[in-house]
Amino acid sequence: MKRSRIRQIASLIALVLALTMVLAACGKKEADGEKVYTIGFNTWGAGVPILDLFGDETEYALGVLGMNGSRASDNFTSEKELENVQNFIASQVDGIAFQASADPVLPQAADACLKAKIPFVLLVFVGDDADRAQFAPNNDYYVGAVNSDLVYDGEVLAQSALRDGHRTACIIGGNIGDNNMDQRIEGFTRVFTAGGGTIIDIARCTSPAECLEKAQAMLSAHRDVDCVYALVGDFVPGTIGAEDILDLAHIPVYASCVDLVTANYIKEGRVAEGNDGIGLAAVIAPAMLINYLDGHPITAPGGGAPEFKTIPFIVNRDNVDDYISIFYTQGVHPIPDDLLKSLTWRFNNNVTYQTYVDLIASGLTLEALLSAHGR
């Protein structure tokens, strides 16, 4: 009888211990889902509206997801960009949301993160395809990449220019060797020439500060050109200014990477049409990084780090007010909080690679984003 009683007590103790372990495990899982990470993130520079937007959107995303952010500017130099990554690592951040604006820095930054065992995700500026293909299979700390389809950026505006009856074009934009500018030129040139158009001249600037001078020289030499393609909104004001100086305000401008200034020129009719959506990557990529840190990484069908491209949408006089209302209105962000949270395991246990695919395929048009805001 006494021995039976001892067995019952032992069984009860064992049961209590088992339940304690289960509860402890559950508590650990909940704690992991609530952990606050410190994420380092950079921008190519400060004071340029579109670059500031990329940083602001990353900061917004981290805030919504409950994270701490450490922001740094590259000051428009590759040396500072690499130094920022090294500083993030030295300060022992939990992860890095990295804009690889200076292409040659990416392999060095990826190697540094690997050695430090700090995960990193690429956003907006994702470096050269060949560089990513080189390190991606061997770097377990590479989370993935999200950027815009920059070739399509150029293609769709070439279609618009052709549709509007233009057969000659000048192009102006950023530095020679800038992969992002080169891709837009590639897309625009291919479609425009295939449609019977001719690229008359291309001006490249080391910064928007050179745009007025270079646009004036180019347009002065080609006063009869049908249209101008500005590769980024940063180069729109200088181009418009050059047209005004030369009395060529009748020449329409098409622009990728619309910013607020460009949007207002669209309202005035000085910019015929633009496209945008590039900044959406700055919100989506941080969600991927948090999933990785939470132990639930988003992986491509083959098992590697996923690389997504958002699809730019057209901004014109018909929709520019709607565009401004969610992209450039104080306190409003194009991807609302609940949609952003749905991309993370800690808020949505059913999130998968397909969640991201579906969002990019149909959820990031201007119409879909307006709908997500209840408009």
**DSSP codes of every residue in 186-215:** HHHHHHHHHTT-EEEEEEE-SSGGGHHHHH
* 196-to-126, 155, 208, 308 alpha-carbon distances in Å: 33, 14, 30, 32
Same CATH topology for 38-148+278-312+349-361 and 151-276? yes
Q: What is the pLDDT of residues 137-176, one digit of tens each?
A: 999 999 999 999 999 999 999 999 999 999 999 999 998 8
> Please, what's the largest Cα pairwise distance for the chain?
108
Structure tokens, 137: 């299979």
Q: How far apart are CA 361 and CA 275, in angstroms?
A: 17
- What is residue 370's predicted lDDT score, i.e. its pLDDT? 97
48 band by pLDDT with thresholds 50, 70 and 90: confident
Partner residues linked to 198 by β-bridges: 168
Q: Provide the pairing of β-strand 120-126 with 168-173.
A: unpaired
**pTM score, whole prediction:** 0.88
Q: How far apart are CA 300 and CA 107, in angstroms?
A: 21
Cα 46 from chain centre:
16
pLDDT at 360 over 60: yes
13 band by pLDDT with thresholds 50, 70 and 90: very low
Q: What is the pLDDT of residues 289-336, one digit of tens each?
A: 999 999 999 999 989 999 999 999 999 999 999 999 999 999 999 999
Answer whether 328's CB lies under 8 Å from 260's CB.
yes
CATH class of 38-148+278-312+349-361: alpha beta
Q: What is the pLDDT of residues 68-114, one digit of tens each?
A: 999 999 999 999 999 999 999 999 999 999 999 998 999 999 999 99
Structural fold of domain 151-276: Rossmann fold (3.40.50)
Structure tokens, 51: 């670059």
H-type helices in the chain, by residue range? 2-34, 49-64, 78-90, 105-116, 129-135, 150-163, 179-194, 211-221, 236-245, 260-268, 281-293, 320-327, 337-341, 353-358, 366-372
Would you list the domain boundaries of the chain? Answer: 38-148+278-312+349-361, 151-276
Q: How far apart are CA 41 and CA 349, in angstroms?
A: 26
Answer whether 59's CB lies under 8 Å from 71's CB.
yes
